């Protein structure tokens, strides 16, 4: 195959590529370009200059208006005209960005000292946007004129604009420290700034004090500038945060609304909000408060109205009779934007770079800027005064030879010839000759000569004064102080925000928001929870249930009560009654996992309603593997309850099988294979929530604990078997052993299809007398019946109640039963029992003939009939 020869054109292309095309890594290109872009938006867009406190767009707007002559004493001009001027000459971006900046500069709820005076709709504190720029009219405010003063006297540097056809200032002269007075907010690449407004009088006084004492300690500065002064007023809390921010540039304060109460009627108040935090949207604030009322988060608010008018801001909140106004104020401060935090981040451009600084460096930068401004102005005025004095001296000299001057001018050919002849004849300078030949004849009168001499004397004084400023820094600083005091007196206004030293820690007791009333709570074995009014409960025949579900807990409770839901995985759910959704009794309810997240295999085994956690009560917990412990009720009270809380530490494959409360002098434990152990309550230690407890009952292989409960000596108890039988027994018939014994057998063991103990419940004489209800649950159904329907039978396997596999029995408490004095159990360290110390389970034994050991139990007294 023939190789194609390179042509002359190919060589030119290769030469061009080699000369013009660069091979650079993409990451280097992006890094370099982004660096340039970042530098631009940091210095030329988002962050204010420390000297005049303005961003470039703001500076360009004010300068353009000054050039157009739209001063505070002149008529307004259309905003669209100004925006067009700014965009066409200085700011080559969209007109909307320019107009938005203009609007903000005019808003008295955003700017402590508005720099633009705008006619028309310029937005509102409710978040309403301003009218289009073609409708509004604008002019400079007096404060803006103070920032622009002397700009035409070469006081600041100018640079070419974007197309090199105009000049624009790099900074404004700024006759007061605008950065601190109006604050700033902005976000750029890697930097953000958030500087709150301050009081002009305080800032000016601080600047003057710093001029007098350049090494002023911060403590003295902090006494002058008390803190931020927001245009919307409010209360600023946190002296420590303010001082940190003023010193370092970073700090946090709390800003809260100013409120008061008015009496509407006897025992009925109204809350009135007169000032709200800075940059809080009033309409959104009113809406959020009303949402709390609509959602019944706070019942004592009848109505909320926005009554703001030309006299000032006013939000009225009408309360119900007897409502605690101060509590509701605290609740609203905590849960709405009536109180917000404000984080200082005082970043500004100093020496062409962004810096996080405190107040003293900012004011020193401003003072240095003023030195430069006054020096430049003095040089400009000195040059002008010297030029004028030179002319005046020539005019005075001319007066003595006026006739000859006139003769020379008349005999000259033209203006240039006249000037040349005058310079030759009288040694006038070019400048003096120009002034003479352009002089009007009436100025030659004797009166005008006196005026020239007076002007020359004043010029001498002025030149001396300007030279003094330029050569003596002390005089220069006095000039700066004098001008600052002038603007202090003419532009300063009283402080709007109130400063409080300490941040008030608001604690809300939410129970004060809840109306204490009686309701019915239902919890099913599958974990559905509902709360219903008594009216709905009484009107419904049956509760709403899923198939094969049943009610585990059904009680009348108060809305201020708390439910403790214990689960098989050693956790409990802390559930205030008022947090449960109010539903009809016939509704299905809310699945517990939608209230508090629980594990997939976690299920509720016991529920208690607690009205007061500060009582001396213990709870008894037992696990499948025979571990037991007591815990104090008061330890179960928590403030955060978004997830289940550990109540007992479990070993592998273990689970909690029973929970009992209101201790008696005995503890009875039943195992699944029918063994019962009774020991004294004081033998079981009291532990914390994270402990695993101690061995309560000694279990043989293939046996497990089913239930444990407190009991008195005189009590009876029912226990439920897996075959749906209920068997009754007596506590006093159980011998009292030590803890961790096997106990005695109370249920005969069958070889095929044996009865297994699943659950048990104590039965007192009072419960029997009052014929309380008894609840029985199986895998598929649930029964609630009077105790009298569960007839006692002496058969050793009791009475068959349900056909399905039973697993839960509970005898309801009697309201007439007197509580005993609780058994006080001291808290002990966890006990570790060594295997060699474990004693064999004790059973009742009798020796008979032929040296055979025969085990006896109370079961021999019963018939062998199996119901």
pLDDT in tens, 768-799: 888 899 999 888 888 888 888 887 677 778 88
What dihedral angle (degrees, nearest 10) is formed by the CA atoms of 87, 89, 92, 97?
-30
Q: 374: closest CA among 385, 366, 364, 363?
A: 366
Output the pLDDT for position 836: 33
Give yes or no: 135 in active site: yes
Alpha-carbon distance values, 293 to 280, 332, 509, 510, 723 (Å):
20, 11, 17, 15, 53
CB-neighbour burial class of residue 865 (10 A; exposed 0-12, middle 13-18, buried 19+): exposed
Q: What is the pLDDT of residues 218-233, one digit of tens each?
A: 999 999 999 999 999 9
Q: Give the residue-averaged pLDDT of 555-563.
A: 91
Q: What is the pLDDT of residues 791-850, one digit of tens each?
A: 767 777 888 888 778 789 999 888 776 554 444 444 444 433 333 333 344 444 333 333
442 pLDDT higher than 80: no
Q: Between helices 239-248 and 359-400, what is the axis angle to 10°?
A: 60
* Domain ranges (residues) in the chain: 54-173, 258-337, 515-611, 615-867
The three-state secondary structure class of 195 is strand
Active-site residue, selected from the candidate residues 76, 135, 442, 808: 135
Alpha-carbon distance values, 835 to 16, 335, 384, 458, 695 (Å):
93, 58, 109, 114, 12
CB-neighbour burial class of residue 604 (10 A; exposed 0-12, middle 13-18, buried 19+): buried
Token representation of residue 535 = 């009216």
Cβ neighbors of 417 (< 8 A, separation 6 or more) are none
Q: Which fold has domain 54-173?
A: Topoisomerase II; domain 5 (3.90.199)
Output the pLDDT for position 407: 86
Q: Give the residue-averaged pLDDT of 366-372.
A: 95
Measured between alpha carbons, how far is 838 from 845 in angstroms, rounded to an integer? 20
Output the pLDDT for position 84: 95
Q: Give the residue-averaged pLDDT of 11-17.
A: 81
293 pLDDT higher than 70: yes
Measured between alpha carbons, how far is 867 from 860 in angstroms, rounded to an integer? 17
Cβ(604)–Cβ(560) below 8 Å: no
Token representation of residue 438 = 């352009």
DSSP state of 723: T
The reply to whether 258-337 and 615-867 are identical in fold is no
Task: Grade residue 858 by pLDDT with cuts at 50, 70 and 90.
Answer: low
CB atoms within 10 A of CB 864: 9
Q: What is the pLDDT of residues 256-291, one digit of tens each?
A: 999 999 998 888 899 999 999 999 999 999 999 999
For the ranges 488-497, 522-531, 737-746, 781-790, the lowest mean pLDDT is seen at 781-790
DSSP H or E stretch at residue 591 = strand 590-591
Output the pLDDT for position 845: 38
Which CATH architecture is the domain 258-337 placed in? Answer: 2-Layer Sandwich (3.30)
Q: Which fold has domain 615-867?
A: Neuraminidase (2.120.10)
855 pLDDT higher than 60: no
Q: Give the residue-averaged pLDDT of 304-311.
A: 91
Cβ(681)–Cβ(667) below 8 Å: yes
CB-neighbour burial class of residue 51 (10 A; exposed 0-12, middle 13-18, buried 19+): buried
On whether the pTM is more than 0.75, the answer is no
The three-state secondary structure class of 551 is strand
Output the pLDDT for position 828: 44
Q: What is the pLDDT of residues 16-57, one digit of tens each?
A: 888 888 888 888 888 888 878 777 777 778 899 999 999 999
Phi–psi pair at 275, nearest 5 degrees: -140, 140
Share of the chain above pLDDT 90, in %: 56
Residue labelled with tokens 């605008």: 178
Residue 621 forms beta bridges with which residues?
Answer: 629, 659
DSSP state of 574: E
Provide the mean pLDDT of the chain: 87
144 pLDDT higher than 90: yes
Output the pLDDT for position 529: 94
Bigger pLDDT: 528 vs 2: 528
Q: Give the residue-averaged pLDDT of 550-554.
A: 91
Measured between alpha carbons, how far is 224 from 243 in angstroms, rounded to an integer? 12
Alpha-carbon distance values, 346 to 102, 105, 115, 217 (Å):
23, 20, 21, 20
Could you tell me the end-to-end alpha-carbon distance of the chain, in angstroms, rounded to an integer? 107
With the C-alpha atoms ordered 545, 551, 553, 554, is the resulting torsion angle positive or negative? positive
Q: With left for phi above 0 and alpha for psi between -120 and 50, is residue 826 left, alpha or beta?
A: beta
One-character DSSP codes across 664-678? -SEEEEEETTSEEEE
What dihedral angle (degrees, nearest 10) is formed by the CA atoms of 329, 332, 337, 343?
70
595 pLDDT higher than 80: yes
Q: Give the residue-averaged pLDDT of 430-434.
A: 87
């Amino acid at each position: 195959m023939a190789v194609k020869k390179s042509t002359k054109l190919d060589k030119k292309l290769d030469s061009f590529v080699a000369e013009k095309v660069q091979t650079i890594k993409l990451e280097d290109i992006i890094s370099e370009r982004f660096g340039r872009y970042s530098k631009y938006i940091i210095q030329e867009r988002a962050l204010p200059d420390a000297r005049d406190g303005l961003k470039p767009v703001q500076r360009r707007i004010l300068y353009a208006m000054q050039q157009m002559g739209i001063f505070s004493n002149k008529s307004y001009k259309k905003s669209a005209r100004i925006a067009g001027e700014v965009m066409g000459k200085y700011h080559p971006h969209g007109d909307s960005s320019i107009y938005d900046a203009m609007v903000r500069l005019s808003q008295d709820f955003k700017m402590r000292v508005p720099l633009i005076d705008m006619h028309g709709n310029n937005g509102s504190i409710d978040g309403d946007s301003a009218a289009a720029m073609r409708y509004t009219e604008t002019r400079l405010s007096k404060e803006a004129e103070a920032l622009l003063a002397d700009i035409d006297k070469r006081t600041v540097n100018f640079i070419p604009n974007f197309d090199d056809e105009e000049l624009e200032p790099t900074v404004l002269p700024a006759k007061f420290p605008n950065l601190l007075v109006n604050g700033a907010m902005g976000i750029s690449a890697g930097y953000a700034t958030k500087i709150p407004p301050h009081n002009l009088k305080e800032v000016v006084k601080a600047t003057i004090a710093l001029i007098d004492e350049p090494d002023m300690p911060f403590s003295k500065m902090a006494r002058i500038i008390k803190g931020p002064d927001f245009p919307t007023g409010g209360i600023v809390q946190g002296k420590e945060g303010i001082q940190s921010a003023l010193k370092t540039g970073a700090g946090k304060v709390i800003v809260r609304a100013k409120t008061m109460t008015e009496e509407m009627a006897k025992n009925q108040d109204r809350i009135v909000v007169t000032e709200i935090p800075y940059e809080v949207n009033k309409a959104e604030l009113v809406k959020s408060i009303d949402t709390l009322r609509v959602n019944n988060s706070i019942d004592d608010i009848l109505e909320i109205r926005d009554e703001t008018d030309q006299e000032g801001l006013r939000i009225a909140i009408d309360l119900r009779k007897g409502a605690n106004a101060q509590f509701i104020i605290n609740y609203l401060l905590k849960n709405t934007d009536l109180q917000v935090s404000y984080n200082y981040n005082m970043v500004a451009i100093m020496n062409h770079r962004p810096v996080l600084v405190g107040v003293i460096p900012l004011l020193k930068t401003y003072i240095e800027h003023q030195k430069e401004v006054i020096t430049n102005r003095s040089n400009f005025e000195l040059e002008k005064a010297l030029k004028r004095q030179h002319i005046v001296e020539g005019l005075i000299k001319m007066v003595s030879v006026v006739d000859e001057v006139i003769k020379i001018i008349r005999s000259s050919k033209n203006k240039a010839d006249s000037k040349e002849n005058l310079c030759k004849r009288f040694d006038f300078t070019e400048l003096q000759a120009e002034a003479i030949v352009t002089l009007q004849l009436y100025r030659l009168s004797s009166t005008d000569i006196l005026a020239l001499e007076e002007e020359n004397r004043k010029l001498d004084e002025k030149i001396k004064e300007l030279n003094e400023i330029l050569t003596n820094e002390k005089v220069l600083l006095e000039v700066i102080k004098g001008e600052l005091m002038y603007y202090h007196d003419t532009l300063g206004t009283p402080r709007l925000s109130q400063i409080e030293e300490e941040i008030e820690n608001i604690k809300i007791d939410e129970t004060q928001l809840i109306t204490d009333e009686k309701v019915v709570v239902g919890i099913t074995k599958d974990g559905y929870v509902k709360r219903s009014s008594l009216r709905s409960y009484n009107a419904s025949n049956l509760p709403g249930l899923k198939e094969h579900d049943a009610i585990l807990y059904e009680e009348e409770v108060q809305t201020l009560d708390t439910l403790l839901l214990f689960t098989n995985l050693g956790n409990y759910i802390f559930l205030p009654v008022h947090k449960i959704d109010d539903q009809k009794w016939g509704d299905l309810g809310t699945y517990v996992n939608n209230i508090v997240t629980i594990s997939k295999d976690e299920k509720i085994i016991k529920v208690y309603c607690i009205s007061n956690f500060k009582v001396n009560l213990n709870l008894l917990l037992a696990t499948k593997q025979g571990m037991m412990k007591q815990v104090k009720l008061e330890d179960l009270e928590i403030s955060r309850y978004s997830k289940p809380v550990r109540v007992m530490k479990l070993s592998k494959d273990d689970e909690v099988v029973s929970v009992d409360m209101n201790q008696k002098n005995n503890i009875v434990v039943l195992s699944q294979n029918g063994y019962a152990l009774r020991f004294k309550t004081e033998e079981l230690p009291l532990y914390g929530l994270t402990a695993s407890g101690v061995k309560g009952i000694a279990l043989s292989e293939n046996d497990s604990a089913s239930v444990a409960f407190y009991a008195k000596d005189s009590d009876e108890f029912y226990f439920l078997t897996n075959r749906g039988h209920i068997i009754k027994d007596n506590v006093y018939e159980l011998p009292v052993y030590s803890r961790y014994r096997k106990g005695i057998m109370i249920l005969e063991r069958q070889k095929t299809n044996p009865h297994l103990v699943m659950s048990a419940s104590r039965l007192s004489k009072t419960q029997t007398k009052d014929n309380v209800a008894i609840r029985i649950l199986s895998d598929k159904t649930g029964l609630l019946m009077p105790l009298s329907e569960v007839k006692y039978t002496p058969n050793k396997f009791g009475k068959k109640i349900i056909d399905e596999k039973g697993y839960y029995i509970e005898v309801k408490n009697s309201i007439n039963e007197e509580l005993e004095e609780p058994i006080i159990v001291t808290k002990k360290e966890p006990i570790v029992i060594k295997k060699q110390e474990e004693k064999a389970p004790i059973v009742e034994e009798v020796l008979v003939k032929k040296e055979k050991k025969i085990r006896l139990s109370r079961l021999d007294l019963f018939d062998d009939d199996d119901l």
